[in-house]
Amino acid sequence: MPFITKEEFYQFYKKDREVFSCLVIKLARNPAQSLLVMALWLRLENTGFPNVISKLASLLDTLFNAQANEAETCLKWLELENAPVPNSGSLSLTSTLIHGETSLQLFSQKRFTAITGIKSILNKICARIFTDILQNILCSTGTVLPNTYRPSIVPGFPHPLFGPFTIPPINFVELDLSDPKIWENKGPCDDVTDDDKTMFVTFSRGIPVTEEEVRHLFTNYFGDCIKVLNTGNADTSDQVLFATMVLKNVETVDRILNGKHIAKFQINGKHIWTRKYEQ
């Protein structure tokens, strides 16, 4: 790829940078939360809702601020695992923005897909296109000092749900601008880890379940979805009581849980419980 200047790179993301600047400079919103809001909006754009950023850039400040508040509500909802959907769970402003219906219920049903998508965009896109804006904001408040060669930490990170985030060093050559995914459709890199796709499966004591039964159950319901299945050690009665299951994609995690914290299945009269694996 030919040499790309910072100015050319930032020009490619001009609208995105305008929207982020409005959040953190014009409206003086919290930088860490604004990064997550931007990652959520870019996630919507990457999943089939075009021109989200352009529409946001054209809004009056009051309506734009209301959109950001609703995005924050959605982000906070993603942090509340297994919480009941409130009666006022609609996301009316976001629905207007994408010209389609969306709600907290829909985000709950696709919770882990949304979380991994936001994390990916946050670190692969936002970290690259907002570097100078973040440096200026945080340096002006004395939060961080500019550093040419070392990344800087943004207060509020690491986030309990979305993980770490650092501002890349000012020395721009350290950024990988040859990555085609930051130029084509502004899509994030596919950096979903096995941990993001791992589920914890448990069985009833006294009712043995075989590995073959587990494979058959989930393959029958969700297709060829299992990447690795590891059964735990047997107890004193020689029965395996749990297993970890790495799936081929994070979307299947949400299909299995369907918005719940724990999903219950049955095969050959035996109960199986599964939840997202957490280290």
pLDDT tens digits along 163-201: 999 887 765 544 555 555 555 544 444 578 999 999 999
In contact, 278 and 267? CB cutoff 8 Å: no
pLDDT band at 8 (very low <50, low <70, confident <90, very high): confident
CATH classification code of 195-276: 3.30.70.330
Comparing 5 with 98, which gets the higher pLDDT? 98
Distances (CA, A) of 260 to 6, 97, 235, 256, 257: 44, 27, 29, 9, 5
Beta bridge partners of 231: 243
pLDDT of residue 173: 43
pTM score, whole prediction:
0.87
pLDDT of residue 177: 56
Within 13 Å and on the Cβ side, how many CA atoms surround 166?
11
In contact, 197 and 203? CB cutoff 8 Å: no
pLDDT of residue 189: 47
Comparing 110 with 190, which gets the higher pLDDT? 110
16-37 burial string, b = 16+ CB within 10 Å, else e?
Answer: bbebbbbbbeeeebebbbbbbb
Give percent above pLDDT 70 in the chain. 86
10 Å Cβ neighbour count for 3?
7
pLDDT tens column, 119-142: 999 998 999 899 999 988 888 776
pLDDT of residue 192: 86
Domain limits, the chain: 6-182, 195-276
- In one-letter notation, the amino acid at residue 113 is T
d(CA 194, CA 235): 27
For 95-128, the three-class secondary structure string (H helix, E strand, C coil) is HHHHCCCCEHHHHHHCHHHHHHHHHHHHHHHHHH
d(CA 88, CA 166): 35
pLDDT of residue 100: 92
